[in-house]
C-alpha cells in the first residue's frame, strides 16, 4: 500500500527542519529533485539508508536530516523504534520553529508506528507527569493558603 500526499497543509518556510525517514536503496537524487532540495554531492554519495545512519545538511536556511532505516526486509517495529529514538537525540538539541517529517510509506501499521515513535521523542512523558504533579501540589498549597489563611 502506498500513501501519497496530494495537498500540503503545512506552511513551508525556511525556519524549519525537514526529516526524511528512508530505507536502504532509496533513489535520493529523485527524492531531492521532487522536494526541491539542493544537496551537496557527498550527501548523494554517502547516504545509503543504513540502519541508524543520519546525515544532516543545509538547504538554504532549512536543515535537512536523512534517517536510514536499514534493509526493508529486516525492518520490524523494534528496529524502527530504535532508529527514531536515535533521531530524537539529534532533534531535541535543535532550535527551530518547525519539524516536518516525511515518513517512509510502507503499510498503514508502519506509518502509524512511525507517528507514535515520533510523538514519543517530542513528548517526554516522565517530564509531563512530573510537571503535572508539581502543578497539582502548587495549586493545593495556593488553595490551602487562600482558604485557611496560613502559609502551610
The predicted-structure confidence for 4-58, as pLDDT tens digits, reads as follows 555 555 555 567 889 999 999 888 889 899 999 999 989 988 999 999 999 999 9
What does the DSSP 8-state code read for residue 51?
Answer: T
Predicted pLDDT at 119: 86
Alpha carbons within 13 A on the beta-carbon side of 66: 28
95-126 residue pLDDT tens: 766 888 999 887 888 889 999 888 888 776 66
Q: How confident is the model at residue 70 (pLDDT cuts 50, 70, 90)?
A: very high
Task: Take residue 73 and report the three cell numbers written for it.
Answer: 526486509
Question: Beta strands 54-59 and 62-68: pairing type?
Answer: antiparallel
The helix, strand and coil proportions of the chain, stated in percent and rounded to the nearest 5, come to 45, 15, 40
Predicted pLDDT at 11: 54
Is residue 65 within 8 A of residue 90, CB to CB? The reply is yes
Is residue 128 scored above 80 in pLDDT? no
pTM over 0.85: no
Task: Take residue 149 and report the three cell numbers written for it.
Answer: 489563611
- Average of pLDDT values for 61-65? 90
- Please, what's the b/e burial string for 110-130 (b: 16 or more CB within 10 A of its CB; e: otherwise)? beebbeebbeebeeeeeeeee
Amino acid at each position: 500500500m502506498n500513501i501519497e500526499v496530494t495537498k500540503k497543509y503545512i506552511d513551508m518556510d525556511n525556519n524549519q527542519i525537514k526529516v526524511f525517514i528512508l530505507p536502504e536503496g532509496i533513489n535520493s537524487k529523485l527524492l531531492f529533485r521532487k522536494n526541491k532540495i539542493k544537496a551537496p554531492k557527498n550527501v548523494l554519495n554517502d547516504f545509503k539508508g543504513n540502519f541508524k545512519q543520519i546525515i544532516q545538511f543545509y538547504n538554504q536556511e532549512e536543515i535537512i536530516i536523512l534517517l536510514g532505516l536499514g534493509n526493508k526486509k529486516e525492518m520490524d517495529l523494534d528496529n524502527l523504534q530504535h532508529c527514531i529514538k536515535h533521531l530524537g537525540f539529534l532533534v531535541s538539541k535543535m532550535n527551530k520553529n518547525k519539524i516536518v517529517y516525511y515518513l517512509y510509506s510502507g503499510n498503514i501499521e508502519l506509518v502509524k508506528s512511525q507517528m507514535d515513535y515520533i510523538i514519543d521523542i517530542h513528548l517526554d512523558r516522565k517530564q509531563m507527569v512530573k510537571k503535572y504533579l508539581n502543578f497539582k501540589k502548587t495549586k493545593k498549597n495556593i488553595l490551602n493558603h487562600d482558604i485557611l489563611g496560613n502559609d502551610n
